């Protein structure tokens, strides 16, 4: 019985040492990642100019050139619209899940 108690104590001590070593590693030796600075909306602040990312996107969009001759081509001009027009229908109940007769759209003059 004394041997089992020693083995149990040894295992508990070994587990505590592993936990302690892991904690020391994470607290002392692991490189801390710096959180990027953000403004009040959560956007990262990477430059002094507010909206620098939008200015970059704008410059990328200004560089895009479209070939408008596509819209004058016979293939484009021969395209047909096969869309279906939607017919307006009568409006249903205000609350479709309400008890029948209580959520009707009739006027309340008869009540």
**Domain, as residue range, for 74:** 46-78
Give the C-alpha separation, 40 to 50, whole Å: 12
pLDDT at 1 over 60: no
The answer to whether 21 and 29 have CB atoms below 8 angstroms apart is no
For 23-49, the pLDDT digits (tens) are: 998 888 777 777 777 777 776 666 555
Q: Is residue 106 part of a domain?
A: no
How many folded domains does the chain comprise? 1
Q: Is residue 62 part of a domain?
A: yes
pTM of the model: 0.30
Q: Is residue 108 part of a domain?
A: no
Q: Is residue 57 part of a domain?
A: yes
């Amino acid at each position: 019985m004394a041997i089992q108690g020693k083995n149990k104590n040894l295992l508990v001590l070994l587990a505590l040492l592993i936990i302690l070593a892991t904690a020391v590693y994470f607290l002392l030796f692991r490189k801390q990642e710096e959180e990027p600075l953000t403004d009040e909306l959560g956007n990262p602040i990477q430059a002094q100019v507010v909206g620098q990312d939008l200015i970059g996107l704008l410059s990328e969009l200004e560089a895009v050139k479209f070939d408008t001759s596509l819209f004058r081509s016979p293939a484009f001009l021969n395209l047909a619209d096969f869309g279906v027009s939607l017919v307006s229908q009568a409006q249903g109940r205000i609350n479709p899940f309400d008890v029948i007769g209580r959520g009707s759209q009739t006027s309340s003059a008869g009540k």
